[in-house]
């Protein structure tokens, strides 16, 4: 049975890595049901359930995996605890100290979970309060028209009673990040210990907790954050970037043409359609523990993993691994430095995303090696896709909704030459 289980686990990993998320979500749960005493299949099932939006069931499978792994497999036990913590946080439930008692302190990710548990001290994270049922308009930051803050619709908020300027909404980041200066000004409690931030430039951070974060008329209590000076956030003169851990609890709309940002609790009633839009585009996303990913379709019906990143100003990036396989200009090229010579000439092959075709779409560059090495994303779409739309980020319901009054909004992506600046958020 061991060989059969190992073969099934390997096949599930291949299904996930090739971007067939629907199959992975269904088959991982089925495999765990068939082999209920295998810890790794339970871990895969928990990931599939998180991706499907079923955090409660994911919590149960992750807990079962951790108990099955016990002390015989530290790697599986660590993965199970991380998934358990993610499932608890998405449900707005406390990180129970008893469950964390056996955490391996040499695992940085688990150290972060333990630090947040200590800082929360039994309180539930991401508790949303609002005085109104309707969405709240969030004030935009004052910024020069051609700045990163202006283009990405950075907002202002209040952290622990202290004004917090230039906050970015970043669907390309797993966690919410706050600069050290902003955290110190707001009196954010921090636990020492370096945590690596992986992005377009690497840096380190520490676990912290904002006791009260105000965005317009919304109040979010007990917000776990990572406190550190990421190069991109510092260069953008930002104080914070809101990652998917927080965004999972909100429904945020970034109306780029009208320059307006609104937010409401994820539990609020969903507006099913935009009556004023001539173009409406719904893109389903799978809310994996690391990042929300859409399932695109390439030439010949092959799936691809797509990240829609509201923190990426420059445009579309591709995995070098995927590009060499799918883009003729890269076939046979053995160096990622190809973009030094051919940046302006490279376009995506025809593909489909959320039921719409994308053709002749320009590519800025390949993903940084640090990100590509994780083998999570094939294609990252940023501001070049989003700029012409009213974009609603609704992770708790597993979708991005893009609407526009311009029927040609999809027909003219921003070319790389049109975008100024060098920084994308982590």
- Do both 307 and 371 map to the same domain? yes
- Do both 379 and 413 map to the same domain? yes
Phi, psi of 317 (to 5 degrees): -120, 155
Position 30 confidence tier, pLDDT thresholds 50, 70, 90: very high
- Do both 103 and 230 map to the same domain? no
Let me know if residue 323 belongs to a domain: yes
Let me know if residue 271 belongs to a domain: no
Nearest-10 Cα torsion for 252, 256, 261, 262: -50
- The per-residue pLDDT of the chain, averaged, comes to 86
pLDDT at residue 274, as a whole number: 59
Check pLDDT > 80 for residue 395: yes
Q: Which of 21-25, 29-33, 185-189, 417-421 has the lowest mean pLDDT?
A: 417-421
Q: What is the pTM of this model?
A: 0.90
pLDDT tens digits, one per residue of 80-126: 989 999 999 999 999 987 667 666 556 777 888 888 999 999 999 99
Position 418 confidence tier, pLDDT thresholds 50, 70, 90: very low
Let me know if residue 272 belongs to a domain: no
**Residues 262 and 253 sit within 8 Å (Cβ to Cβ):** yes
Mean pLDDT of 44-72: 92
- Do both 113 and 160 map to the same domain? no
pLDDT at residue 380, as a whole number: 95
Let me know if residue 273 belongs to a domain: no
- Do both 150 and 261 map to the same domain? yes
383: three-class secondary structure by DSSP = helix
pLDDT at residue 314, as a whole number: 84
Give the CATH number of the domain where residue 93 resides. 1.25.40.10
Q: Please tell me the distance from the alpha carbon of residue 402 to that of residue 388, in angstroms, as a whole number.
A: 9
Higher-confidence position of 332 and 129: 129
Given 92, 120, 148, the domain boundary residue is 120
Instruction: Kindly state the DSSP code that residue 179 receives in the 8-state scheme.
Output: -
Which structural domain range is residue 205 located in?
Answer: 127-265
**Residues 226 and 170 sit within 8 Å (Cβ to Cβ):** no
pLDDT tens digits, one per residue of 224-279: 999 998 888 888 899 999 999 999 999 999 999 999 999 999 988 876 555 666 67
Q: Which residue has 């019906």 as its token pair?
A: 301
CB atoms within 10 A of CB 136: 19
H or E element, residue 187: none
pLDDT above 70 as % of the chain:
83
Three-state SS letters, 385-406: HHCCCEEEEEHHHCEEEEEECC
- Do both 410 and 312 map to the same domain? yes
Give the CATH number of the domain where residue 208 resides. 2.40.70.10
Q: Please tell me the distance from the alpha carbon of residue 151 to that of residue 147, in angstroms, as a whole number.
A: 6
pLDDT at residue 106, as a whole number: 64
Q: Please tell me the distance from the alpha carbon of residue 189 to that of residue 168, in angstroms, as a whole number.
A: 21
Let me know if residue 16 belongs to a domain: yes
212: three-class secondary structure by DSSP = strand
**Residues 291 and 400 sit within 8 Å (Cβ to Cβ):** no
Given 215, 239, 265, the domain boundary residue is 265
**Residues 339 and 346 sit within 8 Å (Cβ to Cβ):** yes
Let me know if residue 424 belongs to a domain: no
- Do both 103 and 158 map to the same domain? no
Phi, psi of 398 (to 5 degrees): 65, 45
Give the CATH number of the domain where residue 399 resides. 2.40.70
pLDDT tens digits, one per residue of 309-333: 999 988 899 998 888 888 877 765 5
pLDDT at residue 146, as a whole number: 87
pLDDT at residue 32, as a whole number: 96
Position 138 confidence tier, pLDDT thresholds 50, 70, 90: very high
Check pLDDT > 90 for residue 190: yes
pLDDT at residue 420, as a whole number: 40
**Residues 89 and 120 sit within 8 Å (Cβ to Cβ):** no
Given 234, 265, 296, the domain boundary residue is 265
308: three-class secondary structure by DSSP = strand
Higher-confidence position of 359 and 124: 124
pLDDT at residue 342, as a whole number: 47
pLDDT at residue 419, as a whole number: 41
How many structural domains comprise the chain? Answer: 3
pLDDT at residue 8, as a whole number: 95
Mean pLDDT of 175-180: 94
In sequence order, what DSSP letters do the residues of 140-151 get, joined into one string? BPP--TTSHHHH
pLDDT at residue 329, as a whole number: 73
- Do both 316 and 189 map to the same domain? no
pLDDT at residue 276, as a whole number: 64
pLDDT at residue 160, as a whole number: 98
- Do both 166 and 109 map to the same domain? no
CB atoms within 10 A of CB 163: 13
Let me know if residue 425 belongs to a domain: no
Q: Which residue has 């896709």 as its token pair?
A: 385
Phi, psi of 343 (to 5 degrees): -50, -45
Mean pLDDT of 289-312: 93
Phi, psi of 247 (to 5 degrees): -65, -25
- Do both 150 and 110 map to the same domain? no
- Do both 151 and 36 map to the same domain? no
H or E element, residue 416: none
pLDDT at residue 72, as a whole number: 63
In sequence order, what DSSP letters do the residues of 72-111 get, joined into one string? T-HHHHHHHHHHHHHHHHHTT----TGGGTT--TT-HHHH
Let me know if residue 411 belongs to a domain: yes
pLDDT at residue 416, as a whole number: 39
What is the sign, positive or negative, of the torsion defined by CA atoms of 111, 115, 120, 122? positive
Spatial CA neighbour of 387 closest among 168, 194, 153:
153
- Do both 55 and 76 map to the same domain? yes
Higher-confidence position of 378 and 202: 378
Burial status of residue 335 (CB atoms within 10 A of its CB: 0-12, 13-18, 19 or more): exposed
Compute and round to an integer the Cα radius of gyration of the chain.
21
**Residues 313 and 382 sit within 8 Å (Cβ to Cβ):** yes
Mean pLDDT of 165-190: 96
Check pLDDT > 70 for residue 142: yes
pLDDT above 90 as % of the chain:
59
pLDDT at residue 271, as a whole number: 66
pLDDT at residue 77, as a whole number: 86
- Residues 6 or more apart whose CB falls under 8 angstroms from that of 259 comprise 140, 153
């Amino acid at each position: 049975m061991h060989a059969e289980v190992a073969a099934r686990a390997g096949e599930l990993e291949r299904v996930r890595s090739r971007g067939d998320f629907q199959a992975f979500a269904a088959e991982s749960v089925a495999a765990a049901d068939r082999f209920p005493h295998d810890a790794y299949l339970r871990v895969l099932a928990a990931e599939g359930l998180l991706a499907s939006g079923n955090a409660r069931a994911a919590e149960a499978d992750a807990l079962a995996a951790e108990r099955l792994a016990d002390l015989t497999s530290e790697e599986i036990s660590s993965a199970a605890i991380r998934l358990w913590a993610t499932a608890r946080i998405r449900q707005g439930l406390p990180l129970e100290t008893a469950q964390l008692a056996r955490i391996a302190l040499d695992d940085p990710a688990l150290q972060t979970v333990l630090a947040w548990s200590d800082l929360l001290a039994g309180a539930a994270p991401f508790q949303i309060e609002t005085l109104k049922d309707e969405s709240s308009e969030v004030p935009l930051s004052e910024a020069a028209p051609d700045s990163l803050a202006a283009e990405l619709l950075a907002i202002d908020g209040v952290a622990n009673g202290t004004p917090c300027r230039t906050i970015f909404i970043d669907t390309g980041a797993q966690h919410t990040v706050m600069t050290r200066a902003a955290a110190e000004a707001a009196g954010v409690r921090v636990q020492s210990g370096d945590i690596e931030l992986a992005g377009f430039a690497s840096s380190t951070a520490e676990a912290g907790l904002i006791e009260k974060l105000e965005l317009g008329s919304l109040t979010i209590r007990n917000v776990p954050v990572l406190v550190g000076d990421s190069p991109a956030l510092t260069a953008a003169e930002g104080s914070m970037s809101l990652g998917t851990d927080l965004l999972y609890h909100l429904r945020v709309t970034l109306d780029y043409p009208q320059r307006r940002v609104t937010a409401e609790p994820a539990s609020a009633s969903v507006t099913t359609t935009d009556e004023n839009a001539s173009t409406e585009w719904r893109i389903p996303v799978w809310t994996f523990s690391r990042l929300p990913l859409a399932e695109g379709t390439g030439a010949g019906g092959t799936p691809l993993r797509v990240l829609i990143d509201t923190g990426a100003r420059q445009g579309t990036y591709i995995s070098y691994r995927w590009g060499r396989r799918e883009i003729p200009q890269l076939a046979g090229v053995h160096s990622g430095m190809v973009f030094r010579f051919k940046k302006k000439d490279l376009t995506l092959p025809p593909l489909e995303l959320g039921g719409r075709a994308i053709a002749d779409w320009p590519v800025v560059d390949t993903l940084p090696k640090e990100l590509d090495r994780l083998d999570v994303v094939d294609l990252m779409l940023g501001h070049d896709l989003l700029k012409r739309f009213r974009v609603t980020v609704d992770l708790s319901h597993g979708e991005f909704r893009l609407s526009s009054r311009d029927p040609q909004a999809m027909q003219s992506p921003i070319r790389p030459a049109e975008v100024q600046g060098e920084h994308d958020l982590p």
